[in-house]
Structure 1
Amino acid sequence: MSNGQGLTPTKSDGDADLAARAAWLHYVGGMTQAEVAKRLNVPNTRAHRYIARAQNEGLVRIFVDVEATDCVQLETDLMNRYGLGYCRIGMDIPDNNPIPLKTLSAVGANFFMQAAAGRKHQVIGVGNGRTLAASVNAMGRQATPDVKFVSVLGGLTRSFAANPYDVIHRLAQKTSAASFLMPAPLYANSAQDKQVMLKQFGISETMELIGEATLIVLGVGDVGSGDGGISVSLLDGSSAAADLRKAGAVAEMLGQFLDADGAIMTTPYDDRVMAPPLETLRGREVVAIAGGKTKVPALRATLASGLLSGLITDEATARAIVELSTA
């Protein structure tokens, strides 16, 4: 059957339409999944898959009109203590993961959408990692053709299943904006190799675009933790994280390291990291999206560095940072 434009709808088109209808009946119509299945004449399991697909593709946006007084107070405390211009704290929800991705992704997605929809930033730099990936996946689709996204650090890995390029790739899918990758590993094999790569077509242009970014959104890694810490596979051997901890490293940002007081450390990785030096972030809007119990010391160190102008985190993490800072 033609759709009137000489095209024949595909099975994928039909499934997308059913996913949207299922989500509408469930969330707006208040129907149970069983009632949705009956209405669409599909099995219950397929109705469930349709609703889940609609969520994953950003067709469903849920707004809760509530003033979380405790979160607002924590935001104010962190902004005053660390000189932040922006702070958003998501209310805690049940989450068995060490990193509260449900909370972080909901608040992070909203921030990404607002930043992309505004006209304040024409170039937005983006880091990588699970939290940023979850935030982008939770975004709704919106066309923002006037914005450019650029990856601010290398992240090419041997495992394409865990490719951090998924963040920038998904941003392009969600926004239809021009998006630029950093086609390089996080660390070059040597300082000489880094200099060679910086001259390569694609990488040099990406570095120039990073320099134009007026907003940078990134994650924060803790040193040596398996839950949101920098991957040991990216460092020089299995004992590298332990060596960094002994030297005083607490937090990782853009492949570079901070001590507990927020001072930028000098490490053997500085001349090899495929990312701009941390000092070049000063004077720009830099917002971190991170949270979880293991991240508390790292986030406190990053806040103390003065590199951040904004923070998105969860309620439990924010409270722990405030308590640690006042101890």
Structure 2
Amino acid sequence: MLMHKRHPDDDIAQAAWLYYVGNLSQQEVSKRLGVSRFKVLRMLADAREQGLVRISVEHRTARTLALADKLVEAFSLQEAQVAPVESAKDDDEIARNSVAILASGYLARIASSDTPVTVGLGWGRTLSSMADNLTGVRNSDLTFVSLMGSVTYASHTAPGDVCVRLAAQTGGRAILLPAPFVADSAQACENILSQRLVRDAIDVARGADHALMSVGECCEGAILFDSDIFSAEQIQELRDADVVGDCCGVFYRSDGTVADIELNRCTPCVQPSDMEDMDTVLLAGGAGKLTATLAVLRAGFVKKLLVDEGLAVALLSASEDRRV
């Protein structure tokens, strides 16, 4: 059990995150933190006076900084950032939004380069929220490119949508992978990848400087299982192979190995082996992401991690218990 001594500023920062990022009412923040509503008002006022609250909450608590250091050590990362939100099981949206704000700050940092920058993008709600939270970045030398195929229905979270939105916001350009998320067969996937326009987009994606990716669960109730992307046979294949999660169209078992299944030969995407020279960043928010996030981290290609505090603690506990 990881225990850290709380500092008064940590409580102020957490109150600010819950109120401004989590969109909780002052009464809900009061209940969550176990303090009076008057105390919450005072904490929010202190957060403003101390400059913690701008467009987002900038303060990182001593507790989350310590967690970030432990994550770097436990998973051999180059960097970790932890949003100071202790999410409960029903707070996944707050966790995702908090991680998205970290990611928007990270993207703003890399986008300030004086040289051309290419950013590969996965898909999902956290990446979409990252785009929603990005402000003040203008750089015509930015290129956003899809790392994977897209879905057939319009979606605010689809790779193409996120790429286009970020390009429009920053004055950069978007390159979309003209391919479906999953093909009907391995042969069909090979045929798709042989097309000139697909090859051109994949080549740009493979040469990206940075890759911002999220992780998906492969379990009952997960978006991938409930979205009609897969056939019933493909879902059964995932279950039979004990697949626990995916990242950018690649499916993993809990030990971090890529599952040897037909489905992993049916997704047109940039493979982990293509990412060796990229700055690979994984975004994960919410308690439900634990098993899938562990699997992707164990795969060994992720260099940087952005998570919420609750998930950070769970990841560290699981890393100490190899039964998870």
How high is the TM-score relative to the length of structure 1? 0.75
Q: Which amino acid aligns with 1:118?
A: S
Match of 1:112 among 88, 107, 110: 107
Partner amino acid, structure 1, of 2:296: T
1:248 is matched with: 242
CA distance in 2, matches of 1:266, 1:94: 34
What is the rounded CA distance, in whole Å, between the counterparts of 2:127 and 2:155 in structure 1?
A: 17
Deviations 1:176-195 (A, max 9, x none): 11110112210112223223
Compute the displacement of 1:225 (Å): 4.3
Q: Which residue of 2 aligns with 1:318?
A: 312
Out of 65-74 and 240-249, give the one that drifted further.
240-249
Indicate how the Cα distance of structure 1 residues 231 and 169 shifts in structure 2: closer, same or farther if over 3 A, else same.
Answer: farther
SS in 2 for 1:270: helix
User: Counterpart of 1:75?
Assistant: 68
Secondary structure of the corresponding residue to residue 123 of structure 2: coil
* Deviation for aligned residue 1:316: 0.4
> What's the counterpart of residue 265 of structure 1?
259
- Unpaired runs of 5+ in structure 1? 1-26, 28-59
Give the corresponding residue for 2:274: 280
2:168 to 170, 173, 183: 173
Structure 2 distance, partners of 1:216, 1:102, is: 19
Ranked by relative contact order (alpha carbons within 8 Å, sequence separation 6 or more), the top structure is: 2
Q: Report if the CA contact (8 A) 1:90-1:314 is conserved.
A: yes
Distance 1:210 1:152 in 2: 6
Q: Which amino acid aligns with 2:221?
A: G
Contact between 2:140 and 2:171, CA under 8 Å: does it hold in 1? yes
Tell me how far apart the structure 1 counterparts of residues 158 and 271 of structure 2 sit (CA, whole Å).
23
Q: TM-score, normalised by structure 2?
A: 0.75
The question of whether the paired residues in 1 share the 8 Å contact of 2:241 and 2:261 is answered with: no
Percentage identity across paired residues of the two chains: 24
Q: Which one of the candidate residues 195, 207, 222 is aligned to 1:212? A: 207
Q: Is residue 92 of structure 1 aligned with residue 79 of structure 2?
A: no
Structure 2, unaligned runs of 5 or more: 1-19, 21-52
Distance 1:109 1:101, change over 3 A: same
CA distance in 1, matches of 2:83, 2:317: 18
Separation in 2 of the partners of 1:217 and 1:188? Answer: 23
Structure 2 CA distance for partners of 1:142 and 1:314, relative to 1, 3 Å:
same
Tell me: CA distance 1:160–1:248, structure 2 relative to 1, closer, same or farther (3 Å): closer
- Residues 221 and 230, structure 1, Cα contact 8 Å, conserved in 2: no
- 3-state SS of 1:106 partner: helix
Q: Relative to structure 1, is the Cα distance of residues 217 and 231 closer, same or farther in structure 2, using a 3 angstrom cutoff?
A: farther
**Residues 206-234 of structure 1: CA distance to partner in whole angstroms, max 9, x if unpaired?**
01101211211111111124355565522
* Native 8 Å contact 1:156 1:165 kept in 2: no
Structure label with greater radius of gyration? 1
Query: d(CA) in 1 for partners of 2:58 and 2:151?
Result: 41
Partner Cα separation in structure 2 for residue 304 and residue 167 of structure 1: 27
Distance in 2 of aligned mates of 1:277 and 1:175: 27
CA distance in 1, matches of 2:115, 2:294: 28
Distance 1:230 1:305, change over 3 A: farther
Aligned to 1:132: 127
Q: State the SS of the aligned residue for 1:117.
A: coil
Structure 1 residues 235 and 121: CA distance shift in structure 2, 3 A: farther
After superposition, the C-alpha distances for 1:32-79 in whole angstroms (9 at most, x for unaligned) are xxxxxxxxxxxxxxxxxxxxxxxxxxxx95254534011111101110
1:235 and 2:230 equivalent? yes
Q: Give the conservation status (yes or no) of the 8 Å contact 1:224–1:241.
A: no
Letter in 2 for 1:134: S
Aligned to 1:123: 118
Q: Give, in angstroms, the shift of residue 141 of structure 1.
A: 3.5
The one of 295, 302, 308 aligned to 2:302: 308
* d(CA) in 2 for partners of 1:212, 1:240: 30
